[in-house]
Amino acid sequence: MLVITRKLDQSIIINGNIEVVVTGLGKEGVRLGIIAPREVEVHRREVFEAIAAANRAASAQPQGASPVIQDAAALLRARVPKAGPDKG
């Protein structure tokens, strides 16, 4: 891992087109500003990992014609009418 010391308002450039600026330093944490092309996705790591973990868990469960899935579909059909809100 590359470790660089930066002060407030200083930045680093990554790959020539991504800039990470230190915009705040305090007891609560470091505030970073990120200037990047629109197609560059930036996420807080814990959010990204939580969603990746949810995806992995969802892909590992029974699929298709399993009884659990059929029960789930039946429950949803009972709960979700094809039209109009469910007042039940």
Partner 1 sequence: MVQDDVTLSFPRGLVGFPQYTAFRLYEPEDGYPLKFLQAVGREDVSFTCIDVQAIKPDYVVPLSDEDAQGLAIQEPADALILALLAIPEDPKRMTANLAGPLVINVKTLQARQIVLNIDQFPLQYPVFSGK
Binding site for partner 1 (CB under 8 A): 38-39, 41, 43, 46-48, 50-59, 61-65, 68-73, 75-77, 79-80, 85
Task: Write out the H or E segment, with its range, that includes residue 31.
Answer: strand 29-35
Q: How far is the CB of 75 from partner 1 (least distance, A)?
A: 6
In the bound state with partner 1, the residue whose beta carbon lies nearer, of 17 and 63, is: 63
In the bound state with partner 1, the residue whose beta carbon lies nearer, of 10 and 55, is: 55
Pairing of strands 11-14, 29-35: unpaired
In the bound state with partner 1, the residue whose beta carbon lies nearer, of 34 and 68, is: 68
Tokens of residue 74, six digits = 């039946």
Distance CA 60, CA 18 (A): 36
86 Cβ partners below 8 Å, 6+ apart? Answer: 79, 80
Q: How far is the CB of 45 from partner 1 (least distance, A)?
A: 11
